[in-house]
Amino acid sequence: MAILLRRRLFIFLVSAFFVIRFSCYGATEKEKTLAMMKPDGLYGNYDDQIKKMVLDSGFSILREKRIQLDEHTARIFYAEHSSKSFFPSLVKYMTSGPVLVMVLEKENAVADWRNLIGPTDAEKAKVTHPHSIRALCGVSAERNCVHGSDSIQSALREISFFFVKSLASKWCCFGLLCVIACSTFDETLVGLTYFRPFSNIEDVDRTRHDEL
């Protein structure tokens, strides 16, 4: 009995590794990042132009939703700037109208999206990055039209912030439960063949398009 339990524990641990490796992070090695069109981007009707630039640059838009931020939500999202003098103005600006948040996927998504949107200061972007999104629709360092995650860690946090019921996390948990179930019916690593993890969020989102 003890040997059987050890075998099942071994199967579980190995299986859990593959779940985390493939289901949670994706089998394609493509990064995901959060993109946000700020109120001025939507007020100026730049959304179609921005989406075209996104797609033309090789990104896939996995999820998107248009929302109105309230003061509490804006303060939490930009909490890292809470001690800065511009924080009250930033919160007021971000709650002045709806925003469009998107999950983008591409190899080197974080860096490539930051490069596409240009420098934080839109006035500087017009000079140094004239073909960037902020050069197109931004007017200042604060009213700069779009937001982009500044690191992979920030991207994970920000995607989870806006997409609380993240399908990646949900299906990761489902996959883990599936592996546990499989391991109880098989004493060898053959049990792993019963599990086919979703490779990325997009695979699942095709079945949940109504949420976008």
Phi, psi torsion values for 59, nearest 5 degrees: -80, 150
Residue 63 CB partners (closer than 8 Å, separation 6+) = 102, 103, 163, 201, 205, 211, 212
Find the catalytic residue in 72, 81, 131, 147: 147
Helix axes 167-185, 2-18, angle to 10 degrees: 150
Q: Which of 69, 114, 76, 117 is nearest to 93 (CA)?
A: 69
| Residue 92 assigned as binding residue | no
147 included as an active-site residue: yes
Alpha carbons 170 and 45: distance in angstroms, whole number: 34
| Residue 120 assigned as binding residue | yes
Alpha carbons 125 and 99: distance in angstroms, whole number: 21
For residues 212 and 63, the answer to whether their CB atoms sit within 8 Å is yes
| Residue 134 assigned as binding residue | yes
Please state the residue numbers annotated as binding site for ATP.
38, 86, 114, 120, 134, 144
Active-site positions read 147
